[in-house]
């Protein structure tokens, strides 16, 4: 298992996080105790299912989760930038994913064709 960081660095994955949540976990089934940990992995079951992005925002917002948030599962290179923008600290990749997509994952972060979204420009603006 490998870890893709927001910088585009690819390192060996850390020890498994204490809590693993399916991306489709209904937010109303979670309690503060469930996320009382240092690191959480959110698993994306399919490429087309974007619930994990909202779950990440929900954990950061409703639960004020400040620990490490990792995305696992079936993300494709075109989605990793979205994951970082939604508050993930890293994306876990299998050997198979890296074999299949060669350097596309790293490129997607290091040379993102679309570097910003509007919301960032608003938030970053000092005006």
Which residues contribute to the site for another protein (CB under 8 A)?
Answer: 24, 26-28, 47-51, 53-55, 57-58, 60-62, 64, 76, 78-79, 81-83, 85-86, 101-102, 104, 113-123, 125, 127
Residue 17 per-residue DSSP state: P
Q: Which is nearer to another protein, 14 or 114 (CB)?
A: 114
Q: Please, what is the minimum distance in Å from the beta carbon of residue 62 to another protein? A: 5
Q: Please, what is the minimum distance in Å from the beta carbon of residue 64 to another protein? A: 8
DSSP H or E stretch at residue 74: none
| Under 8 Å between Cβ of 13 and 44 | no
Q: What is the DSSP string of 27-62?
A: GGG--GGGG-SSEEEEEESSTT-THHHHHHHHHHHT
Q: Please, what is the minimum distance in Å from the beta carbon of residue 126 to another protein? A: 9
Residue recorded with tokens 């993930």: 88
Q: Which is nearer to another protein, 11 or 54 (CB)?
A: 54
Q: Please, what is the minimum distance in Å from the beta carbon of residue 122 to another protein? A: 5
Q: Which is nearer to another protein, 12 or 115 (CB)?
A: 115
Q: Which is nearer to another protein, 13 or 63 (CB)?
A: 63
User: Cα separation of 41 and 68, whole Å?
Assistant: 8
User: Cα separation of 68 and 65, whole Å?
Assistant: 9
């Amino acid at each position: 298992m490998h870890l893709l960081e927001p910088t585009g660095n690819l390192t060996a994955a850390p020890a498994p996080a204490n809590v693993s949540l399916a991306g489709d976990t209904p937010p109303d089934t979670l309690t503060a105790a469930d996320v009382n940990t240092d690191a959480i992995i959110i698993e994306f079951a399919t490429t087309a299912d974007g619930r994990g992005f909202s779950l990440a925002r929900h954990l950061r917002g409703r639960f004020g989760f400040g620990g490490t948030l990792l995305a696992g599962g079936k993300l494709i290179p075109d989605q990793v930038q979205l994951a970082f923008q939604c508050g993930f600290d890293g994306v876990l990749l299998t050997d198979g994913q890296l074999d299949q997509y060669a350097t596309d994952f790293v490129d997607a972060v290091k040379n993102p064709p679309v570097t910003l979204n509007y919301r960032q420009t608003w938030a970053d603006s000092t005006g």
